[in-house]
């Protein structure tokens, strides 16, 4: 393809709104342009790469017997109401004004709708259905370029089985296909146990890429390979002590003491002797959540325990519910549900807020004084804590989720009445799985892992072209003629070539563009080299350069691409 005739609008400057390398480079290399917050247009160069990713995904999905669908993005709201997900998605779902339609954020409902009545017998099962299609989510904070968009491409697949063992098998197949996809694309990833969240269902795993730009946090053990999203991760932690003797409850004046650290300082006690209270609202009711010391509540763990979305109570609500402000809240005298982290189980002689500003209570025995308390794993794992599997140290870091596989079970088939007749002629809900990959995220994550200060470092499977042919001074006949000849020769040999045949561009400009776009190999045709009958071949990733006789070029490239 000739660069002079094609639209690859590269930029020298870093776009103002871009922070992370993939975002900066995708804009600078002329792959994408932002239309509006979280909404991106793919330009020809970017779309070319996207199509390569889609093709790899498609091949691997077809290889496990997946059948490709193309469902509408515009959906009747009614179907989504039947599964309760209009409410579950809340503001994240786009609604179409004046019509009872929504823009689909995912497609469990619609696939299940088509399975209903069509997959009638156990003989029709199993099935794997998938599509590669646009999703809409009104993400409150679109950022990091295409990594979190309001419109994005997802490969979503759904498995339909007649037994739980069948679901295990389908899940296994998808898991293997995902590993193949990410290996072929050339991304370094790891798999973590995850929460099934608003989707419902039992087992779920996420395919993750380590990155400071990530919005997920994972705990990882380098020693044994344990990896889990902090939404479900656990660590070995010391429970608080139960002393042989429980003291009596007593009130302490603690003027201006708000945080756990201030309380420890003021009373000269250890963090583990304190219990911090936070109030969450679930189903319009307050729930008091009690944590040991400065341990942090993980809201996803909390939501999984309670069974739905929660939010922290607002400051004015706190006062109304407890009579005190944050920092003085506690379990004694609190009317309502109280749940605590397992670390606090049966703790005594604890200090907590008194539900009265500037007062705390000491001598709390959770067993004696808060008999209705329920214990769950609610805390957020921290770096340096011990792995529950091998006892070595866990590392906690940020990651980007590339893909997610879920065992859904019968949540959707029950809600929508998708049933089949089993071998005994009994009607049963179809057992389902759901499996997603963010296509743009694959692209962005590849660039996150493969770039340097000058630009992108493509590898063959995703590279928009194989070779960047640079004709340095195209006004010189010898350069333009030889470049044209090489262009024909390489194209004829099956290479996909981007030919910088621009007449007015300076050599330095062409070099910078070539490094920015980052094709694996550059073939540089200049007047000086041609005098000796050579061109220069540069491997973009290593920067290695070699003078190659024009007649040896094909053989030389064959070696490089071996």
Interface residue list for ligand ATP (CB under 6 A): 106, 137, 139, 148-149, 152, 154, 215, 401-404, 436-438, 440-441
User: Is the separation of the CB atoms in 277 and 331 below 8 Å?
Assistant: yes
Nearest distance in Å: CB 433, ligand ATP: 12
Nearest distance in Å: CB 217, ligand ATP: 11
Q: What is the DSSP letter of 5?
A: G
Q: Which token pair is 399?
A: 């990651």
Q: In the complex with ligand ATP, which residue's Cβ is closer, 147 or 373? A: 147
For residues 498-523, one letter each, b for 16 or more C-beta atoms within 10 angstroms of the residue's C-beta and e for the rest, the string is bbbbbeebeeeebbebbbbbbbbbbb
What is the torsional sign of CA 242, 244, 249, 255?
A: negative
Helix (H) or strand (E) holding 228: strand 227-229
Q: Within a 13 Å sphere around the CA of 323, how many CA atoms are in the beta-carbon half?
A: 12
Nearest CA among 267, 41, 228 for reference residue 153: 41
Q: In the complex with ligand ATP, which residue's Cβ is closer, 54 or 269? A: 54
Nearest distance in Å: CB 106, ligand ATP: 6
Q: In the complex with ligand ATP, which residue's Cβ is closer, 348 or 380? A: 380
Q: In the complex with ligand ATP, which residue's Cβ is closer, 85 or 360? A: 85
Please identify the residue of the shown chain whose CB is closest to the bound ligand ATP: 438
Nearest distance in Å: CB 71, ligand ATP: 15
Q: How far apart are CA 352 and CA 189, in angstroms?
A: 43
Nearest distance in Å: CB 22, ligand ATP: 12
Q: In the complex with ligand ATP, which residue's Cβ is closer, 140 or 384? A: 140
- Name residue, tokens 């296994």: 172
Q: In the complex with ligand ATP, which residue's Cβ is closer, 110 or 402? A: 402
Nearest distance in Å: CB 173, ligand ATP: 18
Q: In the complex with ligand ATP, which residue's Cβ is closer, 148 or 510? A: 148
Q: How far apart are CA 328 and CA 274, in angstroms?
A: 12
What is the torsional sign of CA 197, 201, 203, 205?
A: negative
Q: In the complex with ligand ATP, which residue's Cβ is closer, 439 or 469? A: 439
User: Is the separation of the CB atoms in 484 and 490 below 8 Å?
Assistant: no
Nearest distance in Å: CB 96, ligand ATP: 19
Nearest distance in Å: CB 313, ligand ATP: 24
Q: How far apart are CA 15 and CA 29, in angstroms?
A: 11
Q: Which token pair is 43?
A: 């330009």
């Amino acid at each position: 393809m000739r660069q002079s005739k094609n639209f690859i609008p590269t930029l020298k400057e870093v776009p103002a709104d871009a922070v992370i390398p993939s975002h900066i480079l995708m804009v600078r290399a002329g792959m994408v342009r932002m239309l509006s917050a979280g909404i991106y247009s793919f330009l020809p160069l970017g779309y070319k790469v996207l199509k390569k990713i889609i093709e790899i995904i498609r091949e691997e999905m077809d290889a496990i017997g997946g059948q490709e669908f193309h469902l509408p993005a515009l959906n009747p709201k009614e179907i989504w109401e039947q599964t309760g997900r209009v409410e579950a998605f809340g503001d994240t779902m786009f609604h179409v004004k004046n019509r009872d339609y929504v823009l689909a954020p995912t497609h469990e409902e619609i696939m299940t709708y088509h399975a209903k009545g069509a997959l009638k017998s156990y003989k029709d099962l199993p099935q794997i259905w998938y599509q590669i299609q646009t999703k809409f989510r009104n993400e409150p904070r679109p950022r990091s370029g295409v990594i979190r968009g309001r419109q994005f491409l997802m490969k979503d697949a759904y498995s339909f089985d007649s037994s739980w063992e069948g679901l295990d098998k389908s899940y296994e197949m998808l898991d293997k296909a995902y590993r193949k996809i990410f290996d072929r694309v050339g991304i370094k990833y790891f798999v973590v146990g995850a929460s099934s969240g608003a989707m419902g269902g039992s087992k779920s795993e996420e395919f993750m890429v380590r990155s400071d730009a990530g919005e997920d946090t994972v705990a990882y053990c380098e020693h044994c390979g344990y990896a889990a999203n902090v939404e479900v991760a656990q660590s070995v932690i010391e429970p608080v002590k139960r002393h042989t003797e429980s003291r009596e409850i007593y009130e302490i004046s603690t003027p201006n003491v708000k945080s756990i650290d201030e309380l420890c300082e003021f009373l000269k006690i250890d963090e583990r002797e304190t219990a911090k209270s936070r109030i969450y609202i679930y189903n319009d009711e307050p729930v008091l959540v009690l944590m040991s010391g400065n341990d942090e509540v993980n809201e996803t763990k909390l939501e999984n325990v309670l069974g739905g979305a929660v939010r922290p109570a607002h400051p004015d609500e706190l006062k109304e519910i407890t009579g005190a402000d944050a920092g003085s809240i506690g379990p004694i005298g609190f009317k309502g549900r109280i749940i605590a982290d397992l670390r606090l189980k049966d703790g005594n002689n604890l200090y907590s807020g008194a539900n009265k500003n500037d007062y705390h209570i000491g001598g709390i025995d959770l067993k004696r004084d808060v008999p209705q308390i329920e214990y769950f794993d609610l805390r957020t794992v921290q770096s340096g804590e011990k792995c529950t599997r091998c006892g070595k140290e866990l590392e906690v870091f940020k990651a980007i989720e590339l893909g997610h596989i879920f065992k859904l079970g019968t949540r959707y088939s029950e809600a929508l009445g998708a049933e089949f007749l089993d071998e005994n002629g009994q009607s049963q809900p179809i057992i389902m799985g759901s499996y997603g990959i963010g296509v743009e995220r694959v692209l962005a994550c590849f660039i996150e892992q493969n770039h340097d200060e000058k630009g992108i470092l493509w590898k063959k499977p995703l590279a928009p072209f194989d070779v960047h042919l640079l004709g340095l001074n195209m006004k010189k006949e010898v350069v333009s003629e030889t470049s044209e000849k090489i262009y024909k020769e390489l194209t004829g040999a099956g290479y996909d070539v981007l030919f910088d045949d621009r007449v007015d561009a300076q050599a330095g400009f062409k070099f910078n563009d070539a490094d920015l776009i980052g094709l694996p190999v550059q073939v540089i045709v200049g007047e000086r080299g041609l005098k000796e009958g050579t061109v220069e071949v540069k491997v973009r990733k290593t920067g290695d350069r070699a003078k190659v006789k024009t007649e040896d070029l094909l053989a030389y490239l064959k070696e490089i691409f071996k």
